[in-house]
Structure 1
């Protein structure tokens, strides 16, 4: 398909009727894929995690905006490992509040795919991907989220690794 096959007219656009947006955080963050960008140390990872926890638990985002019922969230915490992410969740939620089961996360992504290994080191920042669907996917990474992947023991660093041999194809979009 050439680029010219993708050209549409203003008349076509004018004739379209779109469903209202679904909001992860009403009036602020629509459902779908979102990137949170900014200067280093500005609090992007903390903000993305806080919003993700609020959406996954059906709580209040940013201490002010009710998000409605709990929904699946995929957090790309590409600068964190399991230990840091757990500590941040405990800090935001409190020690006695469980981390929401609808929060799934990835801490490492590689070109052409992704890995759920907990080793950190990527230079990318966090992204929150909330959805009303139960089987999201990201880019070329096809995982059956929010279903949990089986634990495959620990790596030499003591961090938990997850097996990728049991993955099944997921829908291309959610």
Structure 2
């Protein structure tokens, strides 16, 4: 398996635009979006796969998106880690967009604030993305913002596999825990 091009990384501006689009979809149907209202999401038009779309194709892409939030959780020893992911399906389940929103690590005992969160998404046989945190994730049991993400092509059955690994920080050997989920376009 090989990694996909770095061009599939979402910028912070694109992640913010997906957030605005998610909020728009909560208040109005994406089916009602027109060229004027789509201007508030113009950062999404700069995604490499969208750059060649004409106005009609751009609106169809926006209308075809399906979004949701998934919180992945895993426990080891006296630690619990959670990572909230926003995800979108585009091109009728052919493309999967995913980005982290926030995380929380709770501990019931000793431990520092140098945990790690590594998450990956796996799509078609040659496409996957890895996101590795710095060795500095806090274990305060409070939700903390962390935005990183990208997009990949989905498998032919319109599924994407996600894996989140938490490496908790404590003196001695750091315990690890993994959460997995298969996303399916519906």
Q: For the superposition of Structure 1 and Structure 2, which TM-score range results when normalised by the shorter chain?
A: under 0.3
Q: TM-score, normalised by structure 1?
A: 0.22
Normalized per residue, the structure richer in strand is 2
Question: Which of the two has greater helix per residue?
Answer: 2
Q: How does the TM-score come out when normalised to structure 2?
A: 0.21
